C-alpha cells in the first residue's frame, strides 16, 4: 500500500508515540497535548474521513510529558464501510513516521458483572469477532508474514500503569476485549455468548489497529472506558449518547491515566 505524502511540518516532526482516541475521548488532544500542528484527514490525499459523531477527524501532533506524539482525534471503523486496509492505514502511516509505541483507546460496553459505567479497563488480550483480519491481502514487505499474537498488549507498560494507578488511588481494571463489526449494538444472547468466550468488554474497534501494530513490531497499550453495561446487563436501551456522556463525565480521570501511560514509554 502506498502511503500519502504529508505536509513538511508533520513529515519532519518524528513522533515517538501514536495515540488513537475513541468515541467521546477526543478531548485529550485539546486538554493535554502541547500542540505543534493539526492536519485534517480531508486534506490528506486518498485518506478516509471520520463520519461518526464525536470523532473530529484530524491528526494532532505535539508533545505530552516531553514525548513527541501524533494523535488520531477520531478513528475509522469497519462499519463505516471502509476496508480493513483503510481502517488501519493510519497505523502504517504512524509507523512510517517513526512511531514505535501505540496507545489505543476506546469506549466499550461492560460484560464483566463487576464493571460499572465510568470504569477503565486495560486490555490484557482480545477476541477478534469481526469475521476478517486486517492482514488479509497485505501489500508491502513490512513485518513478518505470520505475526505472533501471544502478547498483543505490552506487559511492561500494563504493569507500569497499574503501579501508577495504585499509587494514585485510581481504579484500573484489566480484561479481555471482544470486537464486533457494529454498528448495531449486541443482543443479550450475543453478550451471554461473549461472556462464555471470556470477554469482559465489547466494542467495535481497536483489534484491527492492534493486529497491524504488532505485525509492525510496535508496542501496544490499549485502554477501554466502560461507558455502558452491555445488552442484557444494562437496564436501559443502549445509545451512542450514553457513550459520549459517560466519557465526558470521566474526562479528567481519563486524561490523567493516559498522560501517565505516555510517561511510561
Predicted confidence at residue 236, as pLDDT, reads 63
Instruction: Delimit the domains of the chain by residue range.
Output: 8-264
Predicted confidence at residue 227, as pLDDT, reads 85
CA angle 71, 210, 48 (to 5 degrees): 55
Predicted confidence at residue 99, as pLDDT, reads 97
Give the DSSP per-residue string, 90-151: HHHHHHHHT--EEEEEEEEEE-STT--TT-EEEEEEEEE-SSS-TTTT--S--S-SS---TT
C-alpha cell at 103: 496507545
* CATH class of the domain comprising 8-264: alpha beta
Predicted confidence at residue 5, as pLDDT, reads 81
**Looking at the annotation, which residues are catalytic?**
23, 55, 77, 79-80, 107, 204-205, 228, 240
pTM over 0.95: no
Count of CB atoms situated within 10 Å of the CB of 13: 18
Mean per-residue pLDDT pooled into runs of 10, the chain (265 residues) = 78 94 86 95 88 77 96 93 95 95 95 93 98 95 94 98 96 97 93 97 97 98 89 63 71 93 95
Distance of CA 106 to the CA centre of its chain: 5
The answer to whether 103 touches 20, Cβ cutoff 8 Å, is: yes
The answer to whether 203 touches 183, Cβ cutoff 8 Å, is: no
pLDDT in tens, 139-172: 888 999 999 999 999 999 999 999 999 999 999 9
Distance of CA 48 to the CA centre of its chain: 17
Amino acid at each position: 500500500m502506498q502511503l500519502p505524502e504529508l505536509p513538511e511540518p508533520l513529515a519532519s516532526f518524528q513522533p515517538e508515540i501514536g495515540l488513537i482516541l475513541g468515541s467521546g475521548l477526543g478531548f485529550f488532544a485539546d486538554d493535554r497535548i502541547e500542540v505543534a500542528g493539526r492536519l485534517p484527514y480531508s486534506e490528506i490525499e486518498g485518506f478516509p474521513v471520520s463520519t461518526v459523531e464525536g470523532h473530529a477527524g484530524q491528526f494532532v501532533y505535539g508533545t505530552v510529558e516531553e514525548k513527541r506524539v501524533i494523535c488520531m482525534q477520531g478513528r475509522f471503523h469497519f462499519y463505516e464501510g471502509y476496508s480493513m486496509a483503510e481502517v488501519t492505514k493510519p497505523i502504517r502511516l504512524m509507523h512510517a513516521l517513526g512511531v514505535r509505541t501505540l496507545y489505543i483507546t476506546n469506549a466499550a460496553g461492560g460484560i464483566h458483572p463487576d464493571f460499572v459505567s465510568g470504569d477503565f479497563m486495560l486490555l490484557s488480550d482480545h477476541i477478534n469477532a469481526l469475521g476478517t483480519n486486517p492482514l488479509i491481502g497485505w501489500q508491502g514487505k513490512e513485518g513478518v508474514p505470520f505475526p505472533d499474537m501471544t502478547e498483543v498488549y505490552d506487559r511492561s507498560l500494563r504493569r507500569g500503569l497499574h503501579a501508577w494507578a495504585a499509587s494514585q488511588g485510581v481504579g484500573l481494571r484489566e480484561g479481555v476485549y471482544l470486537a464486533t463489526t457494529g454498528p448495531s449494538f449486541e443482543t443479550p444472547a450475543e453478550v451471554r455468548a461473549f461472556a462464555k468466550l471470556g470477554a469482559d468488554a465489547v466494542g467495535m474497534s481497536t483489534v484491527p489497529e492492534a493486529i497491524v501494530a504488532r505485525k509492525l513490531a510496535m508496542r501496544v497499550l490499549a485502554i477501554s472506558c466502560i461507558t455502558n453495561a452491555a445488552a442484557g446487563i444494562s437496564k436501559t436501551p443502549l445509545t451512542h449518547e450514553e457513550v459520549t456522556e459517560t466519557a465526558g463525565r470521566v474526562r479528567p480521570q481519563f486524561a490523567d491515566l493516559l498522560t501517565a501511560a505516555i510517561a511510561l514509554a
